[in-house]
Amino acid sequence: MSYYKPKFRHPSLPENELGYTVADYDGAVSTLCAGCGHDSISAAIRNACFLSAIPPHRIAKLSGIGCSSKTPTYFLGRSHGFNSVHGRMPSVATGASVANRDLIYLGISGDGDTASIGMGQFVHLIRRNVNMTYIVANNGCYGLTKGQDSATADLGSVGKSGVKNQFDGIDLASLAVLQGASFVARSFSGDKEQLEPLIRAAMAHKGFAFIDVVSPCVTFANNVGSTKSYAATRDNLEVMPLDFVPMREEIRTQYKEGSSQAVTLHDGSIIHLHKASKDYKADSRESALIALQSANETGKVLTGLLYIDPNSQDLNHTLELAPKPLNSLGKDELCPGSRVLNSINEGLR
């Protein structure tokens, strides 16, 4: 059962520019298995929101059903959350996002929730470029129903029962790139150095930002032969590191000429992709797909920012929504009144 953590805080906890400490971004204590990758994702979300100094109540958390979808209870306790139905969080997020364009939307899903029951809604969410961050905690199995293979389990990966998966896994990152997502990343729950800046960048991005996070299931898929175990993932990681510098922040780090490339987002934030990724073209869908494909073929897990269109226009733009959130409009803005209705009547006689 969930319970809230004690309110006591260490007096010397550092504060962000809004005066919040990292503890202000905490949620309830996790009820997931000890060592679950998803808890690391929750921690990374908490830290990312703290570092980017986002007021917690301006974030809305949404999820579907499954272990991953339980996690929004475990971070950002001051944010509203919506644990919706299995595979259908994308539509709920779409409705929420158009109703109030001023909030920041964070969707948490799993591989079952997204790649199986929710596949239809997922691709349409991408297609509409809803302004949100969408994280899939991807462990290749159904944890909450005790370890069945999911649609992202790799071909030949062995589950806890010892049976080899007979079907090709769905690569959600490739799919997202192909379908036109404006921000696609992959990461590993064990790599907070990379995951935190990715989440921060995703939340600053205008449009649909997708992060596929390999997040091992310690109980049902951490065995030898599982391609999504901690050990297998660590052994095969091919990391493209990055830094995130939010808008208005002083640039403290000096990057050596040619060692990194910078991507400036619509709000002035900068993403620095560097070292191993210096030759990577993050603004090309083609290179993203080639890189993902060649990593897949060699059994590697390529992580980092795979694709970004920093000038993407989100759904609110496409729908030509007025700047004032729809949920704040009153009678005067919405109701045309009796005179107009009388003239409509006249036209129907």
Cβ distance to other proteins smaller for residue 31 or 236: 31
| Min separation Cβ 49 and other proteins, Å | 14
For 34-97, give the DSSP string: TT-HHHHHHHHHHHHHHHTT--GGGEEEEE-SSHHHHGGGGB-TTSEEEE--TT-HHHHHHHHH
CB atoms closer than 10 angstroms to residue 140: 27
Cβ distance to other proteins smaller for residue 248 or 324: 324
Which positions from 39 through 68 interact with other proteins, judged by CB under 8 A?
55-58, 60, 62
Q: How far apart are CA 127 and CA 94, in angstroms?
A: 11
- Is position 98 an interface residue for other proteins (rule: CB under 8 A)? yes
- Is position 7 an interface residue for other proteins (rule: CB under 8 A)? no
Cβ distance to other proteins smaller for residue 163 or 335: 335
| Tokens representing residue 149 in the block | 């293979």
101: nearest Cα among 329, 332, 327 = 327
- Applying CB under 8 A, the span of 164-172, 234-242, 271-279, 314-322 interacting with other proteins comes to 314-322
The amino acid present at 191, given as its one-letter code, is: D
Q: How far apart are CA 157 and CA 187, in angstroms?
A: 19
Cβ distance to other proteins smaller for residue 134 or 280: 134
Which positions from 132 through 191 interact with other proteins, judged by CB under 8 A?
none
First-residue to last-residue Cα distance in the chain: 64
- Is position 340 an interface residue for other proteins (rule: CB under 8 A)? yes
Which positions from 63 through 92 interact with other proteins, judged by CB under 8 A?
72-73, 77-85, 88, 90-92
| Tokens representing residue 313 in the block | 């226009």
* Residue in 43, 93, 214, 232 binding other proteins, rule: CB under 8 A: 93
Judged by the rule CB under 8 A, the positions of this chain that interact with other proteins are 1-2, 55-58, 60, 62, 72-73, 77-85, 88, 90-100, 102-103, 120-121, 124, 128, 319-324, 326-331, 333-338, 340-342, 344-345, 348-349
